[in-house]
Amino acid sequence: MREFELVPTFGHRLAAAMERYSPLCLGLDPHPSLLKAWGLDDSAAGLSAFAKTVVEAGAGRVGILKPQVALFERFGSAGFAVLEKVIAEAQAAGMLVINDAKRGDIGSTMQAYAEAWLADGSPLAGDALTVSPYLGFESLRPAINLAEQNHRGLFVLALTSNPEGASVQHLGDRDGQGSVAAAIVKAAEDENDYFMSSLIEPAKLGPIGLVVGATVAQQAQALGIDLARSRAALLAPGLGAQGATVADLRSGFGQAYPQVVPNSSRGILKAGPDRQSLIDAITAVTDQLKEQS
C-alpha cells in the first residue's frame, strides 16, 4: 500500500480552483487568425504579447489555463521560451496550467516526455498534461507514475469530438466488453481508485483526468461509459466556438457534471485584444457556469 505525505494532490488543487473561481478552463490558443485579428504579427513577439494579455485577463478570475502547445511550438525555440514564461507567470498568478500537448509514446521516449512536462524543475512542467493512450493505456505508465509522484495530473484522450476519433474510440475492445473509449475510461477509473485509496486526505478527483468533448458527451452512455464512476476530472473542449452551451454540458454529462472542466478558447479570445473586453467575456462564462452549479 502506498502512503502519501499531506501535500495537496492535483485532484485537491483542481477541486479547490473549481470551487474558488468556477470550473472554467481558459484555453490559450494563439491561432494565426487570432493574432491577425488582434493586430499582432504572426511571430514569437506577437505570440508573447497575445499570451501576456490573456494571462493578465485571467489572473484572479479563472483558476485553470490551458495553453495549446502546438501553437507555441510552431515558432520553435522562441515559441517554447514564450510558453515557459506563460507557465511560470500563470502559476505565479494562482492558476493551474494544463499543457495541451497530447503526448504519447512508449518506453524511454514516454519517460522523456514525462520528464519534460511533469518533472519538478523542468521549465515546461505545468500542473497537468494531456496525453494520448492509443499506443495502449499502459504505455502512459512513465507519465502516470511521475504525475502521481510529483502531485501533478494527466488528462487522457477518451472521447473526442473530431469526426475521425469515432473510427477508433467507438470500436469494440478485443474482449467484446464495450468500446475502446470505455476501456480507457475504466483504466483511468482503476488508476484513480488505487491512488486515492492510499491518500491520507480524501479527494473528490483523482490524478488521472479524461478528455471528453463537450459536443459528444451524450454518446458516453451508448458506448458503455460511466463517467461519474471514474472519479476523473473531465476536460471538456467545445464550449463556445464549437457550439456547446453550458446547458448542453449539464444535459450531456448528466451525473458526471460536477467533474466537468469546460474549456473555452476562441469563444472568449475573440473578445480581444482589449483586456477589459476579455475580462467581460470570462466573467460572462463563469457567471453562466455558477448558475448551473
**For residue range 145-182, what is the model confidence (pLDDT) as tens digits?**
999 999 999 999 999 888 888 778 888 866 656 889 99
Domains of the chain by range and CATH? Answer: 10-288 (3.20.20.70)
Catalytic residue (one of 102, 186, 270, 290): 102
pTM across the whole model: 0.94
Instruction: Judge residue 30's burial from the number of C-beta atoms within 10 Å of its C-beta, 0-12 exposed, 13-18 middle, 19 or more buried.
Output: buried
CA angle, residues 14, 244, 101, in degrees to nearest 5 = 50
Could you give the percent of the chain with pLDDT greater than 90?
80
Tell me how far apart the alpha carbons of residues 3 and 86 are, in angstroms, rounded to a whole number.
Answer: 33
Which of the four pLDDT bands, split at 50, 70 and 90, describes residue 240? confident
pLDDT one-digit tens code per residue, 75-86: 999 999 999 999
The yes-or-no answer on residue 186 being catalytic is no
Backbone angles phi, psi at 253, to 5 degrees: -90, -20
CA gyration radius, the chain: 18
